[in-house]
């Protein structure tokens, strides 16, 4: 049982309300959902759509072939008609226009009926939503409901499913780590975390600061870290570029710092509201000079929570920089789960911070001598630099001791075909293997730096390696080549760089073409 | 990051330590690398005395923290023995603001240069009046980038012809940081003469006690690079401490244009608005830290 519903219209028409209402109902009935959001960088007008997929099994991707189109304007049906599956239906807005601002509510009512939910379930869900719980809302929903016939009869399943986005996952991970301060500056898609943490501020008691720019956000994060706070900052694209000098400051000061890099397609302003994996190289190298860092890329919202917590833990313990690498698809995609993130590691700040009786704490952007002041003594510099690099050893051991997953293997064990990918492409890759019943194993790389040496063994064991990335040049492929001297054949790289995420529909044939029997 | 024990001979009654250590109290052992005769020495002495006086009034030494920029001025980090963060060039203010966000009970003093603060770090300076964090900014205004050997800053006078970067001489109009401070809503604005360390100490002390963001400009000669603007002591005069309206303060701030050799240079507190609310009093989580007199590290969430 799997259905794809496309809900489209102009920005500002309330598309998210429809998909939100329907997906909430669906998970209560025990269905897994995945909601993909496609919208341009404008506030009003244009063409926006969500593709809400529902399934009785876990899914983490969407399709571009559609069973039901909910069309809030004429453009939607004309643009997407060709994507309709055989027997698919379109709910046109024309007959509901009299509901004005409640057009979306009326359409939601119609959609719920088509899916076979009874009227009580609809009203219950309307009442749970503050913005539409009023007479007009209920009237519109009911009228919509009464205007169509039941087409699918979704029976209720006994499951306990929750909806979660990547940004929510990151926020949960930060809160689980005892975050004290988040600093940021608005930029899509990183703003999703800024908003998420700001929304949780009152309840959790941390503080969120919207700085005057990214330079301020990152430098103030380091100042606060020095004063003993557990801090996180983050940005996307150019905003992250602006932070890079201070990442290097993290290198000399060794102040714990977790940075979220939310990828979107570049260069420059690029495609602000679309997705990309084009900044892996940036995360690995950003900042001048040589200093240790951890770069990790979660692939699902639960992993977002886990990796964020791990980075808080490791950066506190090893005075290092930790970069959580995500993208728009992962941050804003609405996943659904039965399982919760792993039990978090307890993060403690145990060092002498300014204010400690009897001590003076000093930290500097210059190389420091034992007295905390500037030094240009070559032997001190050598020792400091060596000590910095040596911290990787401790980190590796800690990662092992704490059972942190540096990579994951999915799909068919010991298959001769090995698919390699990372981050948000995981959803489409895993769903492709399941849906296409593919003879393939999938290696999901999570920790890019440090990287597990197991990865080399896994790759060497496979007969056929296929790389899947959401970028132009295959950046993970390049990293593997640098790290393990393993090159992936050009014809075996499946790369997508139009700002859109992979779907099983397009991935399965691409994989099949490259798989060995 | 280093944590260094406070020297044994500096623990005890302040008056006794002062007697035994004299000018070495609150100083590190690092050799000073400023040019002999550079007024940075007396700025440092002014700052040291301000800290000392505040300690005598019960402020804890461990609660003081200085954040310095990069330039000749920034070397002060190496010489005064209190907590310190030697930040990036231009980023002393946001770094200090972060320290304050991490522990609002720390007493933060920021040392910056005119290049540091008005060129590289301008985007932070003009927001300080808005945010109004409870900390003090001290800018060493020597009208030049000195550490990088004498290029022009945003307050260098026109016609300055010593910059290797500007073979035609300085042709840009200098800006007036005091007027800018007023326009951007900074609530405490003062000016000092680098050579007068007693007065500087007095003003820094008042700035540190001000509940909000305090800006202290120090007119400083660089005896090596932009020497053409040196020796302005005769033009300087002390203003009386009294409450001034914005317009009165603006008039005072306009007396010196950073360009010509004539024109009076008023010294002292130019403007003070006691009605502003400090940043950490606006937000419940930070208010809690202040009430409990702790930083985030020691804060227990219920
Ligand atoms: C990002 C960056 N740009 C440039 C520099 C080089 N730099 C070091 S000190 C300095 C200027 C210092 O001038 P000022 O702040 O006025 O201090 P002064 O030396 O006059 O006390 C510059 C440009 C740097 N360290 N970092
Ligand atoms: S170059 Fe100028 S500012 Fe720097 S130490 Fe020498 S006199 Fe002082």
Domain membership of residue A414 (yes or no) is yes
Report how far apart, in Å, the C-alpha atoms of A114 and of each of A15, A66, A163 are: 18, 15, 22
Yes or no, beta carbons of B91 and A246 under 8 Å apart = yes
A106: domain CATH number? 3.40.920.10
Query: In the predicted model, what is the mean pLDDT of chain A?
Result: 95
Considering only residues B260 and B287, tell me which one the structure prediction assigns the higher pLDDT: B287
Q: Reply yes or no on whether the pLDDT at B140 is more than 80.
A: yes
C-alpha torsion sign, points A348, A354, A359, A361: positive
Q: Whole-angstrom Cα distance, residue B99 to residue A228?
A: 9
A201 and A289 fall within a common domain: yes
Query: In the predicted model, what is the mean pLDDT of chain B?
Result: 97
Q: Could you tell me what percent of chain A has a pLDDT over 90?
A: 89
Averaged pLDDT, A458-482: 98
Averaged pLDDT, A449-453: 97
Q: How far is B228 from chain A (nearest CA, A)?
A: 31
A127 and A181 fall within a common domain: no
A242 and A180 fall within a common domain: yes
Averaged pLDDT, A135-149: 93
A260 and A345 fall within a common domain: yes
Q: Predicted confidence band at B261 (pLDDT cuts at 50, 70, 90)?
A: confident
Range 277-296 of B in CB contact (< 8 A) with A? 283-286, 288, 295-296
Q: Which domain holds residue A385?
A: 168-356+363-401
Q: Predicted confidence band at A19 (pLDDT cuts at 50, 70, 90)?
A: very high
Yes or no, beta carbons of B95 and A363 under 8 Å apart = no
Q: Could you tell me what percent of chain B has a pLDDT over 90?
A: 97
A103-115 helix and A119-127 helix, angle to the nearest 10 degrees: 140
* Residue in the block written with tokens 């009003």: A44
Q: Predicted confidence band at A134 (pLDDT cuts at 50, 70, 90)?
A: confident
Averaged pLDDT, A506-517: 97
A199 and A129 fall within a common domain: no
Whether B87 contacts B77, CB under 8 Å: no
Q: Whole-angstrom Cα distance, residue A87 to residue A235?
A: 44
> Is ipTM strictly over 0.95?
yes
- pLDDT score of B146: 97
Give A301-321 pLDDT, tens digit per residue. 999 999 999 999 999 999 999
Domain boundaries, chain B: 39-293
Report how far apart, in Å, the C-alpha atoms of B19 and of each of A469, B13, B44, B224 are: 70, 10, 19, 35
Domain membership of residue A162 (yes or no) is no
Q: What is the three-class DSSP state of A457?
A: helix
Whether B76 contacts B50, CB under 8 Å: no
A472 and A501 fall within a common domain: yes
Number of domains in chain A: 3
Report how far apart, in Å, the C-alpha atoms of A63 and of each of A3, A60, A72, A156, A273 are: 9, 10, 20, 23, 19
- pLDDT score of A153: 85
Whether A364 contacts A198, CB under 8 Å: no
Q: Whole-angstrom Cα distance, residue B36 to residue B253?
A: 31
Q: Whole-angstrom Cα distance, residue A67 to residue A4?
A: 5
Q: Whole-angstrom Cα distance, residue B8 to residue A505?
A: 73
Q: Report the number of secondary-structure helices (H) and strands (E) in chain A.
A: 17, 20
Q: Reply yes or no on whether the pLDDT at B302 is more than 80.
A: no
**Cβ-Cβ contacts under 8 Å for B97 (sequence gap 6 or more):** A216, A220, A223, B124, B131, B133, B135
Q: Whole-angstrom Cα distance, residue A424 to residue A326?
A: 7
- pLDDT score of A63: 92
Provide the token pair at A300: 């699902």
DSSP, res A64: S
Q: Is the peptide bond before B65 cis (omega within 30 degrees of 0)?
A: no
Secondary element (H or E) of residue A305: helix A301-318
A267 and A380 fall within a common domain: yes
Averaged pLDDT, B186-215: 98
From the CB of B119, is ligand 1 less than 6 Å away?
Answer: no
- pLDDT score of A131: 83
Averaged pLDDT, A260-272: 97
A440 and A463 fall within a common domain: yes
For residue B268, the CA-to-ligand 1 centroid distance in Å is 27
A135-146 helix and A119-127 helix, angle to the nearest 10 degrees: 150
CATH domain B39-293 topology: Rossmann fold (3.40.50)
Domain membership of residue A125 (yes or no) is yes
Give A199-225 pLDDT, tens digit per residue. 999 999 999 999 999 999 999 999 999
Whether A262 contacts A235, CB under 8 Å: yes
- pLDDT score of A42: 84
Domain membership of residue A161 (yes or no) is no
* B101 shares contact with chain A (CB less than 8 Å): yes
A252 and A110 fall within a common domain: no
A393 and A263 fall within a common domain: yes
Provide the token pair at A424: 């948000």
- pLDDT score of A203: 95
Atom of ligand 2 nearest to the CA of B150: 1
* A206 shares contact with chain B (CB less than 8 Å): yes
A290: domain CATH number? 3.40.50.970
């Amino acid at each position: 049982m799997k259905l794809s519903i496309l809900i489209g219209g102009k920005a500002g028409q309330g598309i998210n309300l429809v998909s939100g209402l329907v997906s909430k109902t669906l998970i209560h009935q025990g269905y897994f959902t995945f909601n993909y959001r496609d919208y341009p960088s404008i506030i009003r007008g244009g063409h926006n759509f969500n593709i809400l997929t529902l399934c009785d099994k876990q899914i983490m991707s969407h399709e571009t072939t559609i069973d039901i189109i909910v069309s809030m304007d004429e453009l939607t049906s004309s643009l997407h008609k060709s994507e309709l599956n055989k027997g698919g239906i379109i709910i046109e807005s024309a007959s509901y226009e009299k509901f004005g601002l409640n057009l979306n509510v009326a359409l939601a009512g119609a959609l719920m009926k088509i899916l076979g939910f009874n009227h009580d379930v609809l009203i219950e869900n309307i009442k749970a939503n503050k913005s539409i719980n009023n007479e007009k809302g209920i009237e519109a929903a009911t009228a919509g409901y009464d205007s169509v016939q039941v087409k699918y009869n979704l029976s209720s399943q006994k499951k306990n499913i929750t909806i979660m986005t990547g940004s929510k996952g990151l926020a949960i991970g930060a809160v689980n780590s005892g975050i004290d301060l988040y600093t940021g500056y608005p930029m899509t898609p990183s703003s999703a975390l800024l908003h998420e943490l700001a929304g949780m501020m009152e309840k959790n008691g941390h503080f969120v600061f919207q700085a005057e720019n990214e330079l301020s956000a990152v430098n103030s994060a380091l100042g606060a870290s020095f004063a003993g706070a557990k801090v996180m900052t983050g940005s996307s694209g150019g905003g992250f570029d602006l932070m890079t000098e201070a990442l290097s400051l993290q290198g000399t000061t060794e102040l714990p710092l977790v940075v979220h890099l939310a990828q979107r397609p570049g260069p420059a302003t690029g495609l602000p509201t679309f997705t990309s994996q084009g900044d892996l190289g940036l995360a690995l190298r950003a900042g001048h000079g040589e200093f240790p860092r951890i770069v990790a890329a979660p692939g699902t919202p639960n992993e977002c929570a886990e990796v964020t917590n791990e980075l808080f833990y490791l950066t506190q313990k090893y005075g290092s920089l930790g970069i959580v690498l995500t993208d728009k698809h992962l941050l804003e995609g609405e996943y659904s789960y039965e399982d919760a993130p792993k039990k978090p590691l307890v993060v403690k700040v145990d060092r002498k911070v300014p204010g400690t009786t009897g001590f003076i704490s000093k930290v500097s952007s210059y190389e420091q001598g034992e007295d905390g002041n500037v030094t240009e003594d070559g032997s001190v510099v050598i020792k400091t630099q060596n000590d910095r690099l040596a911290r990787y050893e401790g980190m590796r051991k800690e990662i092992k001791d704490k059972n942190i997953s540096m990579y994951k293997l999915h799909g068919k064990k010991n298959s001769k075909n090995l698919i390699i990918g990372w981050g948000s492409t995981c959803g489409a890759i895993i769903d492709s293997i399941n849906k296409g019943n593919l003879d393939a194993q999938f290696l999901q790389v999570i920790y890019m730096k440090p990287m597990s040496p197991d990865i080399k063994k896994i790759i060497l064991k496979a007969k056929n390696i296929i790389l899947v990335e959401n970028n132009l040049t295959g950046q993970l492929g390049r990293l593997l080549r640098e790290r393990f001297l393993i090159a992936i054949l050009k014809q075996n790289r499946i790369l997508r760089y139009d700002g859109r995420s992979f779907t099983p529909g397009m991935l399965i044939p691409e994989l099949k073409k490259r798989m060995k029997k | 990051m280093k944590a260094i024990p406070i020297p044994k001979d500096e623990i005890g009654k302040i008056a006794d330590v002062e007697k035994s250590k004299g000018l070495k109290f609150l100083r590190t052992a690092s050799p000073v690398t400023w040019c002999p005769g550079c007024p940075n020495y007396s700025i440092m002495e002014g700052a040291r005395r301000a800290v000392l006086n505040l300690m005598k009034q019960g402020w804890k030494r461990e609660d003081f923290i200085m954040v310095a920029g990069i330039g000749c001025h920034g070397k002060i980090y190496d010489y005064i023995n209190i907590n310190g963060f030697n930040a990036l060039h231009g980023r002393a203010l946001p770094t200090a603001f972060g320290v304050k966000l991490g522990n609002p009970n720390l007493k933060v003093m920021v040392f910056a240069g005119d290049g540091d603060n008005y060129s590289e770090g301008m985007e932070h300076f003009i927001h300080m009046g808005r945010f109004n964090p409870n900390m003090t900014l001290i800018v060493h205004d020597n009208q030049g980038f000195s550490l990088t050997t004498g290029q022009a800053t945003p307050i260098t006078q026109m016609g300055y012809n010593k910059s290797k970067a500007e073979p035609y001489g300085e042709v840009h109009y200098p800006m007036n940081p005091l007027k800018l401070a007023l326009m951007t809503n900074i609530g405490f604005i003062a000016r000092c003469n680098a050579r007068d360390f007693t007065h500087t100490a007095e003003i820094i002390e008042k700035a540190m006690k001000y509940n909000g963001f305090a800006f202290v400009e120090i007119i400083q000669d660089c005896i090596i690079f932009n020497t053409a603007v040196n020796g302005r002591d005769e033009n300087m005069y002390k203003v009386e401490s009294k409450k001034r309206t914005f317009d009165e303060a603006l008039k005072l701030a306009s007396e010196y244009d950073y360009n010509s050799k004539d024109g009076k240079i008023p010294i002292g507190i130019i403007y003070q608005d006691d009605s502003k609310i400090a940043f950490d009093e606006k937000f419940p989580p930070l208010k809690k830290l202040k009430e409990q007199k702790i930083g985030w590290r020691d804060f227990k969430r219920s």
